[in-house]
């Protein structure tokens, strides 16, 4: 049974948290938090997503706040550092926010930057991590096939673990995988899973070696686990620049996966300049614990969104609830 809309609106709190470094073009991360019988949950689809896409994020929040989570197979999750499209000189400072992390995901293909900028950034990450560190890059689908092939060759000297969503379409992913297969650099699919009408298609077509799984845009922990089991591909659980409440959902998902072969992208609370709890899920010794997070009332008040933004999020919640119950 779904909670009523009045129940959701009654517990809803909207926050606006500052970011340490500009990320995805954002300086502030907004989120709507809900309190369910199993604990707090987060509804925070990015503002540009329409209601048809955002409703899946609401389904995930209700799954986490109102349903019992699957049994845990591990209580601690190894996580990667996340390096936004900063200058090479800024890289050491960013990595210092992820103590103990031996894997770094580096954003590349940022609009307004060049491949030379990407190479310099990844070179600095390799210098800081040393030869034993693992590096993966994420293009968010912004390269075409020829650009991706050129970039992967240029970055290959840094011993990449894999390249995430180098191109936008499944067909392009399959082509770049064919062109660069001899380099032994894996291709991971993110947007081709979480924003696809058929999330299984990327696996059926052999277009990726690895799946990047985010619980919120896939409808929650139970739906994400079912998808992983159906594809048979290794999964990397990641977050969507969530508060510690949202990261807690990702940690519970990672804790329930039978095989966890890669460090997870669940250290992104380090990119927030503030959080909704005095005990955030920040990386310590390269990992985070699997636990529920309860927001601090004082912090909810301190970082409460402006009235117009609060009203925008509550209206969005109302519309998405109507779609969910239609």
190 annotated ligand-binding residue: yes
| CA–CA distance, 71 with 73 (Å, rounded to integer) | 7
164 annotated ligand-binding residue: yes
The dihedral sign for the CA sequence 167, 172, 173, 175: negative
Kindly name the residue from 214, 222, 310, 316 that is annotated as catalytic. 214
Active-site annotation holds for 105? no
* 320 burial type by CB count under 10 A (0-12 exposed, 13-18 middle, 19+ buried): buried
Burial 25-49, CB ≥16 within 10 A → b, else e: eeeebbbbbbbbeebbbbbbbbeee
53 annotated ligand-binding residue: no
Q: Are 61 and 242 in contact (CB under 8 A)?
A: no
The dihedral sign for the CA sequence 222, 219, 317, 255: positive
- Work out whether strand 103-107 and strand 287-289 pair parallel, antiparallel, or are unpaired: unpaired
The tokens describing 223, both together, are: 């739906």
The tokens describing 185, both together, are: 């650099």
Instruction: Give every CB contact of residue 128 below 8 A, 6+ residues apart in sequence.
Output: 91, 92, 95
Kindly name the residue from 13, 29, 59, 107 that is annotated as catalytic. 107
Active-site annotation holds for 107? yes
What are the binding residues for Mg(2+)? 138, 164, 190
Q: Which residues contribute to the annotated binding site?
A: 138, 164, 190
Catalytic site residues? 107, 214
């Amino acid at each position: 049974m779904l909670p009523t809309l009045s129940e959701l609106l009654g517990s809803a709190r909207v926050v606006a948290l500052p970011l340490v470094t500009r990320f995805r073009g954002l300086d502030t991360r907004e989120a709507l938090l809900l309190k369910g019988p199993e604990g707090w949950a987060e509804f925070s689809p990015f503002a540009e997503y329409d209601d048809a896409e955002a409703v899946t994020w609401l389904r995930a929040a209700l799954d986490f706040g109102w349903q019992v989570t699957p049994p845990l197979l591990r209580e601690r999750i190894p996580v990667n550092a996340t390096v936004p499209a900063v200058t090479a000189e800024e890289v050491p400072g960013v990595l210092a926010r992820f103590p103990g992390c031996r894997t770094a995901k580096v954003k590349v293909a940022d609009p307004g930057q060049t491949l030379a900028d990407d190479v310099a950034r990844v070179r600095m990450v390799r210098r800081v991590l040393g030869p034993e560190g693992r590096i993966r890059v994420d293009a968010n689908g912004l390269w075409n096939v020829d650009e991706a092939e050129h970039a992967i060759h240029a970055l290959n000297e840094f011993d990449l673990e894999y390249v995430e969503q180098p191109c936008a379409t499944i067909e392009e992913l399959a082509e770049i995988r064919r062109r660069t297969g001899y380099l032994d650099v894996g291709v991971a699919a993110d947007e081709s899973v979480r924003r696809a009408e058929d999330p299984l298609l990327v696996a059926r077509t052999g277009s990726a070696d690895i799946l990047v799984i985010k619980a919120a845009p896939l409808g929650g922990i139970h739906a994400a686990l079912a998808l992983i089991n159906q594809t048979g591909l290794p999964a990397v659980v990641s977050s969507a620049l969530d508060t510690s409440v949202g990261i807690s959902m990702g940690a519970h998902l990672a804790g329930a996966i039978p095989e966890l072969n890669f460090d997870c992208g669940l250290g992104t609370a380090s990119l927030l300049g503030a959080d909704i709890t005095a005990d955030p899920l920040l990386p310590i010794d390269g990992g985070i614990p699997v636990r529920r997070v309860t927001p601090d009332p004082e912090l909810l008040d301190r970082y409460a969104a402006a009235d117009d933004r609060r009203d925008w999020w509550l209206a969005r919640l109302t519309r998405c609830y109507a779609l969910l119950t239609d």
